[in-house]
A = this chain, B = another copy of it.
Amino acid sequence: MSRNTIFLTCSIVLNLLLFHSWYFHGEWEQSWTKNATAEAEFVASISCSGHGRAFLDGLIVDGKHVCECNACYGGPHCSVFLPECIADADSGDPMFLEPFWLKHAASSTIVVPGWHRMSYEFNDDSLISKELDAQIRKLHAVTGNAVTDGRFIIFGVGATQLLHAAVHALSTTNHPSSPSRVVASTPYYPIYKEQTEFFNSEDYKFEGDTSLCNNNSGCQGNFIELVTSPNNPDGQLKKAVLQGPSAKTIHDFAYYWPHYTPIPALADENLMIFTLSKLTGHGGSRFGWAIIKDEAVHQRMLTYMNLSTYGVARETQLRVLKLLKVAVENEGKEMFNFGYQTMRNRWRKLSKTMSLSKRFSIQELETQFCSFSEEVRGATPAYAWLKCEREEDKDCNAVLHSVNITGRHGSLFGAESRFVRLSLVKSDDDFDLLLKRMGTLVSQENNNDGINKIMTHTDEFNEFIGNNKGQ
């Protein structure tokens, strides 16, 4: 056999092998996931200059998905900065975590077949995925922020739904003459008031600040106290104020994660509410859960869920399961470190800017031992609780508007209007613009202080010459 013939034979064998591989694992393998995969990969590959994103269900123009730009960016690829745009620090939209999920796309993506869990119920007639329930318990074990052993867990369409379900479950029923009195310590999350008033139940009424009951005369009746820790808006770790058999508590632990606070201890309250939004950043997924000690309260909350929405979407539960698996990878180190580092960097920059101001102040950040990170560290809350210190700056948000910043008005939290909540959890673009505008405001103040000093001298001068002018 000639050398050429040997080469040819080898080459033909190789061709056959390659053809086999290509045929069975390559182009011709038209699996049922192929279309969806190709579409998702294509849309993900659209470039939006790092200031926006194209989405699968986004607008299609001329047959093409278009970029959805971050606030203050425009143009077909989001590359144009819009300088007159408002720095919107109102919403607590936790987009600061998006880069983490972009980096972990391979482990956090899900494929949902058209036939996935069509039924109203899971196989055990519940509305709750057992695997997700177990994953949530694992998450709390990893972070050490809440006891779950022997506790009931229920899911809700965001903490929003669970908060009202909890108020409902703890309220007195069949006592229309003495509805439960819902209270929270000022400053408090505005939804508590808005929700209770909007649904206008005979069973409970919002009554404002817990101090209502500090003087004993106001303490008649059954109370439901909403305790937010770390607090929204000011980031303080809080304890219930009211005690005794007629006081029931709901602990809103939306921010009790290592991103925002040292974890001083394992929480073990009667009714604790958590939300995916502030944990992984998926506000749009509308997923929260409650950890409940008492079986009767658990049953009442389940009934609420049944009659309000009949549970939480199955595709959401599937996605949350996947996200939480990534969150606890490597004992949670990766996601929580990313979250904490991002928030710490933002706080460092903001604190540096604010340290130059006398016109504005922000809350003090407490430092304590964090059992999760096993170190002493400072709080890095989701919001700056900004105060306008000057007597005349009664409406602090109006002051911010002068440099095109908007925050959330203090009065919404039951506080004075000289307070504003500034969100620090939005995208890098949002934070950078906020910081820049705050810098402008503070440097105006310092320039003005310079001018004021000149003015003061001028006044003295005027006084001096005025005296001479005989005014």
Give the B-binding residues of A (Cβ under 8 A).
2, 4-5, 7-8, 11-12, 14-15, 18-19, 21-22, 25-27, 30-37, 39-41, 44, 53, 55-60, 68-69, 91, 93-95, 97-98, 101-102, 104-121, 123, 129-132, 157-158, 160-161, 164, 168, 173, 191, 194-195, 198-203, 277, 281-287, 303-304, 307-319, 321-323, 326
Residues of B contacting A157 in the complex (Cβ-Cβ under 8 angstroms):
157, 286, 308-309, 313
Min CB gap A112→B, angstroms: 5
Residues of B contacting A32 in the complex (Cβ-Cβ under 8 angstroms):
41, 44, 105-106, 109
Min CB gap A135→B, angstroms: 9
Closest B residue, CB atoms, query A99? B115
Taken together, the copies of this chain in the complex come to 2
With most chain B CB atoms within 10 A of its CB, the pick from A7, A94, A132 is A7
| Complex Cα spacing A188 to B68, Å | 45
Asked if A111 and B36 sit within 8 Å, CB to CB, the answer is: yes
A14 is contacted by which of B15, B57, B97, B286 (Cβ under 8 Å)? B15
Min CB gap A60→B, angstroms: 7
Closest B residue, CB atoms, query A27? B25
Per DSSP, are chain A's interface residues mostly helix, strand or loop, or mixed? Answer: helix
A15 is contacted by which of B18, B118, B286 (Cβ under 8 Å)? B18
Residues of B contacting A160 in the complex (Cβ-Cβ under 8 angstroms):
307-310
Asked if A109 and B114 sit within 8 Å, CB to CB, the answer is: yes
| Complex Cα spacing A179 to B440, Å | 54
Closest B residue, CB atoms, query A323? B114
With most chain B CB atoms within 10 A of its CB, the pick from A114, A157, A200, A201 is A114
With most chain B CB atoms within 10 A of its CB, the pick from A102, A108, A318 is A108
Residues of B contacting A201 in the complex (Cβ-Cβ under 8 angstroms):
199-202
Asked if A111 and B37 sit within 8 Å, CB to CB, the answer is: yes
Residues of B contacting A25 in the complex (Cβ-Cβ under 8 angstroms):
22, 26-27
Asked if A37 and B33 sit within 8 Å, CB to CB, the answer is: yes
